[in-house]
Chain A
Amino acid sequence: DTTVKQNPRYKLARVGKPVNLICSQTMNHDTMYWYQKKPNQAPKLLLFYYDKILNREADTFEKFQSSRPNNSFCSLYIGSAGLEYSAMYLCASSMGRDTGQLYFGEGSKLTVL
């Protein structure tokens, strides 16, 4: 079963408020990713976990935090949402020893007002 679940599917947040997005996978994959997707733009890699090793992109280093309490779950945390955070957030997982094939969830759509 190649399933990646994301919650919530839709999130409405006020400017300045925190946002927490959750992702889970049942495939025992060792790597989990978070991407930000805005209309007509490429999915932007925010960070990824390989086991418990967190890799964060330099240009989003301070804007997003994440935790991975076990291999099945991964969260994405925004401490203070701004209007520019409105986007679709895509979670994906993969097996590190494979070729980098990602399995995506359906996404969490965040709207910041």
Chain B
Amino acid sequence: QQKVQQSPESLSVPEGGMASLNCTSSDRNFQYFWWYRQHSGEGPKALMSIFSDGDKKEGRFTAHLNKASLHVSLHIRDSQPSDSALYFCAVSERRTGGYKVVFGSGTRLLVSP
């Protein structure tokens, strides 16, 4: 199965700081990289997707994709305690019957006040 590797496994940043998460895919047959966030007791929720080289910004969140190296990063500026959660990277691949979506094991982010 396609592998999606995330680093670091856990990350601690102070409130107002910058959090940086990394993700690499082992398969070039993808159309989109996705970032999902999961708070305790809830299902994962999609944050943003990226499919073109370069940066994509949505509010405090910026994703950066390098297609040549199959690497995507997520940067959270001005981190808030509410950003504390498990962050998943996922890769979606178009199939004849829908999208196959494969997830990494996640980065646990803790933002301390």
Contact = CB atoms under 8 A, between A and B. Distances in A.
Contact of A101 (B34, B88, B93): B34
Contact of A96 (B51, B99, B105): B99
A24 interface: no
Nearest to B45: A104
Contacts of B51: 99
Given A57-B1, A100-B31, A35 B103 contact: yes
Interface stretch (A11-19, A43-51, A73-81): A43-51
Nearest to A88: B43
Contacts of B101: 33, 45, 92, 94, 100, 102
B80 interface: no
Interface string B82-113: 00000010101111011111111110000000
A99 B92 contact: yes
Contacts, number: 80
Contacts of B92: 99-100
Q: How large is the interface on A (under 10, 10 to 19, 20 to 34, 35 or more residues)?
A: 20 to 34
A51 B95 CA distance: 13
Contacts of A92: 43, 101
Interface of B: 1, 4, 31-32, 34, 36, 41-46, 49, 51, 88, 90, 92-95, 97-106
Interface of A: 4, 30-31, 33, 35, 40-43, 45, 48-51, 53, 55, 57, 59, 90, 92, 94, 96, 99-107
Given A42-B102, A102-B90, A104-B45, 7 more contacts: A4-B43, A35-B103, A42-B4, A43-B44, A45-B100, A51-B97, A96-B97
